[in-house]
Amino acid sequence: MGALTPPVVILARPQLGENIGAAARAMKNCGLTDLRLVDPRDGWPNLAALPMAAAGKDIIESAKVYKTLGDALHDVTFLVATSARPRDMAKPVSDPRSVAPLLVGHHEQFTDSGRYAGLLFGAERSGLDNDELALADIIVQADLNPEATSLNLAQAVFLMAWEWRVAALHHIAAAKPAETVSSKTMSPKMPTDSEIIPATGSARDFFFTRLEKILDERHFFGSPEMAPVVKRNLRTYFTRGTPTEQELNTLHGILTLFEQGKGLG
């Protein structure tokens, strides 16, 4: 992730160790590292966390526990709180995609001085209470299906971590010379594996011509009027797949078999 320090993740009053573990895995997937637990219901360490953490084992092992949210925020200077329910609070409300560049921007400015952005998540059932929300700079609500706005804890963590990651990668790419950016934003793209060599236009034409000759000899095209149309359609289809050299070789092998079949007659 280059020089960009990820936001810290703060779980307020988390309940199940499994959920804490799954949250750590989601953090690890997206390159976040700093997990803080405020007053976890079942104490800490929690044996149920590790199996769910998968590659995020190190995040569980280095997680810090705090008695109060205030303590957990000792070095957090920009706090984003997630909430499924709208509150009557005089606070800015944003969505995950819009807030991600703000997290990146904060780090650009402040991380060197030991000030971090933080993502705050509430307890599984109840979410964040009003006192916790009051500490946040921004409240984030994802525009989810109105029939099912409640994410499980690990999904909520993953959603914010993913949005941060994409914004951070974009930020890093944008800071590089234009040349290197373009290949990243270009998509969909073919694999760049050097063994995959696209066939030349000549090689394609040679294949088409051979295919058409074989089909002509077997009266495949029906009427003379239809022949050019069907040939063009075949060329269009076979070209659209952008055949590689190896693929054309395989197709030629099939044509040879085809010709031999006739030879038997």
Kindly state the number of chain residues that form the binding site for its own copies, as judged by CB under 8 A.
77
Interaction between residue 234 and its own copies (CB under 8 A) = yes
**254 near its own copies (CB under 8 A):** yes
Which of residues 125, 147, 179, 225 is near its own copies by CB under 8 A?
147
Does 179 help bind its own copies (rule: CB under 8 A)?
Answer: no
Residue with tokens 């303590």: 71
Q: Is 175 in the site for its own copies (CB under 8 A)?
A: no
Closer Cβ to its own copies, 10 or 22, answer by number = 22
Identify whether the C-beta of residue 42 lies closer than 8 Å to the C-beta of residue 72: no
**Per-residue burial over 175-184, b = 16 or more CB atoms within 10 Å of its CB, e = otherwise:** eeeeeeeeee
Contact 252, 207 (CB under 8 A): yes
193 binds its own copies (CB under 8 A): yes
Q: Does 95 bind its own copies (CB under 8 A)?
A: yes
- Binding span for its own copies by CB under 8 A among 37-45, 66-74, 126-134, 240-248: 240-248
For the segment 8-47, give every residue that binds its own copies (CB under 8 A).
22, 25-26, 28-31
DSSP codes, 93-111: EE-HHHHHHHHHHHHHHHG
Contact between 134 and its own copies by CB under 8 A: the answer reads no
Query: Could you say whether residue 225 binds its own copies (CB under 8 A)?
Result: no
- What the block records as the tokens of 249 is 């070789």
d(CA 251, CA 249): 5
Q: Is residue 158 within the footprint of its own copies (CB under 8 A)? A: yes
38/168 with CB nearer its own copies: 168
Residue 62: Cβ within 10 Å count? 11
The two structure tokens encoding residue 182: 């373009």
